[in-house]
Structure 1
Amino acid sequence: MAEIRIRNTEERISGEQNVRAFLESQEVLYEHWDASKLPGHLQDKFVLSDEEKAEILATYDVEIRELAERRGYKTWDIVALSDATPGLDDILKRFEQVHTHTEDEVRAITAGRGIFIIKGGEDVGYFDVELEAGDVISVPETIPHFFTLMDNRQIVAVRLFIETEGWIAHPFEDPAFIKA
């Protein structure tokens, strides 16, 4: 279950309803899918064949299509990252820059853990959303953020897009942002 850490106060928010209410107040969509639906042989697997990626997409087909219809997403895929991913450190350096997009950034975590760092309203500042299997988040295109891995450096997630070529990141320079 997702947990939030507000950076300038160190306040923690947990529990599905509390997380959902806080994120909604920041204009961020949060949902939770049933992580136990994923077949056991894929629950802790972070290097995936094309067939295994297709199996994950098929497992969550109903949830994906419902979210896509509701929010206008037209295409989706799977991203799998771990220490076995060639060039992982370079990939993470690209991710770990505050930016906005031309569309929402959507992730449905199916295995592992990840973290979104998001710029909240003036009264909140930056906050971290720690995600695990079953958590679904959509950060609106105009909200500065970035996504990275937790200490375990393993994640599998469904990504949904409006643009068929995927999202385009636009750097967001913010002297108030302190990497922590």
Structure 2
Amino acid sequence: MSTLSVYQQSAPELPYKVLTHAEDITATLAEVGVRFERWPASAAIVAGASSVEVLAAYRPQIEQLMGEEGYITVDVVSLTPEHPQRAELRAKFLQEHTHGENEVRFFVAGRGLFSLHLGEQVFEVLCEKNDLISVPAGARHWFDMGEKPNFVAIRLFNNPEGWVAHYSGDAIAEQFSRLEEWT
């Protein structure tokens, strides 16, 4: 189940708000400029599906979003517990960073934990299958795919080079939840 937990930056041990209804999550994140939606599956995606199959299954939604927001590049990231670089990738994504463009992810399968450091608050968003999240350009955040990643996500970019991070150097991510704590 998709979940949003909101913390004061100074109190990472206890959220002051926890939401599980998609409408509440959407409304709360919209207040801070984050887009969150639930997209119904237009086709079943089976384990091992190719990027071409994944993109074809969600082509109408992708084209609509590309038209609305001007995204020029789309790809699929798929990680499994057997991925040989899973530890290195996790470490890279777990560092607080920003992007010069929105970070857009649509979870086709599996789940991941986006943490957004906005002002004095941290918003932890457990994204699962059918969740779309768009983290605004310049927003400090990190992403945890877990020790044993198991997800497929469509990524959309304005930058033809794809994912480019600017690390903050802040160790705040070490104080907050990891995906394993959400089981």
| TM-score category of the 2 structures, normalised to the smaller one | 0.7 to 0.9
TM-fit CA distance, 1:116: 0.3
TM-score (norm 2): 0.86
Answering whether residue 153 of structure 2 is matched by residue 153 of structure 1, we say: no
| Alignment partner, residue 105 of structure 1 | 103
Question: Is the Cα contact below 8 Å between 1:102 and 1:167 reproduced in 2?
Answer: no
Answering whether residue 139 of structure 2 is matched by residue 143 of structure 1, we say: yes
| Alignment partner, residue 66 of structure 2 | 68
Structure 1 residue ranges without an equivalent (≥5): none
Answering whether residue 130 of structure 2 is matched by residue 134 of structure 1, we say: yes
Answering whether residue 36 of structure 2 is matched by residue 38 of structure 1, we say: no
Question: Is the Cα contact below 8 Å between 1:26 and 1:121 reproduced in 2?
Answer: no
TM-score (norm 1): 0.87
| Alignment partner, residue 116 of structure 1 | 114
Question: Is the Cα contact below 8 Å between 1:30 and 1:135 reproduced in 2?
Answer: yes
Answering whether residue 170 of structure 2 is matched by residue 174 of structure 1, we say: yes
| Alignment partner, residue 24 of structure 1 | 30
Give the fraction of aligned pairs with identical amino acids, expressed as a percent: 34
Cα RMSD of the aligned pairs, angstroms, is 1.7
